[in-house]
Structure 1
Amino acid sequence: MGSSSRSAQQLVLLGIILLATNPFGVQARTLKIHKLEKLSQDEEYVHSHLRFAEFEENVLKVSGELNLHHHLDNDWVIEFKVSQEKDGNYERLFLLETKVCDFMESYYKDFFYERIKDYSNAPHPGNCPLPKEHYRLEDYPLDVHVLKKLMTPGQYRIKYKLKNDDKVILSYMAEVEVD
């Protein structure tokens, strides 16, 4: 998700990181991404593609692209929700809703930019509004070893939406299992 493409990928990663709440000290042995699905995409604004591949034990290679047809500013909103399955239903653990430029100046700058800049044409965190661009992320090595030790076992659903005037422009959903 270039900035937006990077945002989607980064938000999926942030979701996994945020799932690392383990109040009982249980250590997970495996982390599996069962599904990564693009739920919607308004091609007038954006075209995206995101993929994960297992590279080696505990390391996933993350790649993706985002062809952004319009600039993104604080009129655009990122929504990120993490839910955990409890008794057949998913209960929300975390909800983040933030404007794009605010996201760039905080979460993106603090958690993602330094990690992904060598694997992408990611914009600098201070570069907002985000310009129309074809953003790419190539073979970013996501080490899930630490996350597996921190996450509580269970089924998780991570949803990401990019919205403009409450209209969903892009959305992804990931289903993750921790044993």
Structure 2
Amino acid sequence: MGSSSGTVQHLVVLGIILLSTNAFGVHARKLRIHKLEKLSQEEEYLHSRLRIAEFEENVLKVSGELKLHHHLDNDWMIEFKVSRSVDGDGNYERIMLFEVQLCDFMKTYYKDFLYERLKEYSNAPHPNTCPLPKEHYHLEDYPLDVRVLKKLMTPGHYRIKSKLKNEDSVILAYMAEVEVD
């Protein structure tokens, strides 16, 4: 994503599917994103926007921006919750809950899995940048190849929720609903 806490969060919403389904070995044929919804956003802290469009078979184009109005440090937490339902009937079972402090995320997961791929499509901050400065971060036409995701995920419906929070205050939250068949 554009790449800062929120923008990184957006990309990780998609990337977390990969991390949460490493144990699955079923080869899926189709992956559909049914919904990508911003659940909350505190304008005092930031403004975010995210677009995902199918570009060609197995490739999604991801674009977005994040305008940070405050510096964000390790007092901020990123949370990801992945749930799965066989038929999408509303009975989702949590398969993963992941929480990490922002700066720790930048130095580990962001550095290891995202930064090198993002930097040519964005003004993504370097992994050692923390606190994240007030900035207008952007991501433009990042080609997300979903073939690996399709191979690793078992058929079913997935609900991925991501949050950026400080103590009990959520300043940004997104939810994605994905189907694999």
Aligned equivalents of 1:3, 1:168: Cα separation in 2: 16
Aligned identity (percent) is 72
> What is residue 13 of structure 1 aligned with on the other side?
14
- Which amino acid letter does the alignment assign opposite residue 123 of structure 1? P
Question: 1:5: Cα distance to partner?
Answer: 3.2
Distance in 2, Cα, partners of 1:86 & 1:61: 27
Which structure 2 residues correspond to residues 164-175 of structure 1 after superposition, within 5 A?
Answer: 164-175=166-177
Q: Trace 1:97-136 onto structure 2 (pairs within 5 A).
A: 97-136=99-138
Displacement of 1:106? 0.5
Q: How does 1:2-151 map to 2 (within 5 A)?
A: 2-21=3-22, 23=24, 25-86=25-86, 88=89, 89-151=91-153
Structure 2 counterpart SS, 1:27 = coil
Note the C-alpha offset of 1:63: 0.5
Q: Aligned-pair RMSD on alpha carbons?
A: 1.3
- Per the normalisation by structure 2, the TM-score is 0.94
Structure 1 gaps of 5+ residues are: none
- Note the C-alpha offset of 1:86: 4.5
Aligned mates of 1:162, 1:105 — CA distance in 2: 17
Determine the C-alpha separation between the residues in 2 that align with 1:135 and 1:4: 10
Shift, 1:37, TM fit = 0.1
Instruction: Calculate the TM-score normalised by the size of structure 1.
Output: 0.95
After superposing on structure 2, the runs of 4+ consecutive aligned residues of structure 1 that deviate more than 6 Å are none
SS at match of 1:118: coil
Q: CA deviation at 1:150?
A: 1.6
Would the aligned equivalents of 1:156 and 1:176 in 2 still touch at CA under 8 Å?
yes
In structure 2, how many angstroms separate the alpha carbons of the residues matched to 1:94 and 1:161?
A: 14
Structure 2 residue runs without a partner (length 5+):
none
